[in-house]
Amino acid sequence: MTASALVAERAAMVSAAIDGAFDTLLAVPDDARAALYDAMRHAAIGGGKRLRPLLVRAACDLFNISPDSALRAGLAVECIHVYSLVHDDLPAMDDDDMRRGKPTVHKAFDEAAAILAGDCLQSFAFGILADEQTHPDPFVRVELVKALALASGAAGMAGGQAMDLAAENSRFDLATVTRLQSLKTGALIGFCVDAAAIMARIPPEGRTGLHGYARDIGLAFQIADDLIDVEGDAAAAGKALGKDAAAGKETFVSLLGAERAREQALLLVDQAKAHLHGFDARADLLRAIADYIVERDR
């Protein structure tokens, strides 16, 4: 099986499982909270590549972690990812009308629903990780919570988003853009592989290869995203493009040029795969995901 066929097959399985899990988690209650749940369902179900849950699943392949545990850790990280999209799309933030080919939550509902839906998805993420269904060992569960709080909060994703907002009024250099993106997208991607290592009880000093892999594919992913923003097709992307340049933000593409940025992404993918040299065929899905990340913009 080719790398892209492997990714496609496993991504379809993971997507179906995540949609099913969201459908259960977000069953609409028969009271005045119905609109809140409808807003969460609109944001969470039936869209997106589910790259993060796929990464959790792929990293879990290395350690024979149960599919149920991998799915629940993936569901938690997807809750965080979806909440961040809902909040980032708000008029006060990136002001986007379309996401995954559908109206954004504040367009389909209203801003209050979007704020609350995001808030609730964040609390679901931690509730999922803390539940026995995710893993029988409470130490593992609490380590997952700690890692996700760090990766998603001010020291991770949300901190990166704050830097991104500041970027509109600054001239960031390559080092600062790299730091921004390592927080904004890299931290949560790092959590995905870390979750597998935590569930496998691999001590932190045994995770350097996986962390290197995550850091490299995180940056490659962001470069690919920047290339899509410049060269891509809005209909295929399911969202508005060309926004970084319009906002005067420096990106990998504005700083390096498209050609060097693309070369850099390919280099990062090779480097990411080199970090997996200690693993055998169990790392094939992780390797295929690294290739997929830079191919998706073609």
Q: Does 66 bind a second copy (CB under 8 A)?
A: no
Report the alpha-carbon distance of residue 79 to residue 24 in Å, rounded. Answer: 13
154 vs 236, beta carbon nearer a second copy: 154
Query: Tell me, what amino acid is at 191?
Result: F
Q: Does 214 bind a second copy (CB under 8 A)?
A: no
Q: Does 23 bind a second copy (CB under 8 A)?
A: no
Applying the rule CB under 8 A, the residues between 126 and 165 that interact with a second copy are 126-127, 129-131, 138-139, 141-143, 145-146, 148-150, 152-154, 158-159, 161-163, 165
Q: Does 166 bind a second copy (CB under 8 A)?
A: yes
Indicate if the alpha-carbon torsion angle 178, 183, 188, 192 is positive or negative. positive
> Closest by alpha carbon to 182, among 217, 149, 142?
217
Q: How many CB atoms lie within 10 A of CB 228?
A: 18
Q: Does 90 bind a second copy (CB under 8 A)?
A: yes
Total interface residues for a second copy by CB under 8 A: 55
Q: Does 116 bind a second copy (CB under 8 A)?
A: yes
132 vs 259, beta carbon nearer a second copy: 132
Q: Which of 179, 234, 271, 282 binds a second copy (CB under 8 A)?
A: 179
Q: Which of 9, 23, 68, 110 binds a second copy (CB under 8 A)?
A: 110
Q: Does 40 bind a second copy (CB under 8 A)?
A: yes
Q: Which of 13, 35, 98, 237 binds a second copy (CB under 8 A)?
A: 35
Residue 162: CB minimum distance to a second copy, A: 4
Q: Does 115 bind a second copy (CB under 8 A)?
A: yes
Q: How many CB atoms lie within 10 A of CB 67?
A: 13
Q: State the residues that interact with a second copy by CB under 8 A.
A: 31-33, 35-37, 40, 83, 87, 90, 92-93, 110-113, 115-116, 118-120, 122-124, 126-127, 129-131, 138-139, 141-143, 145-146, 148-150, 152-154, 158-159, 161-163, 165-167, 170, 172, 176, 179-180
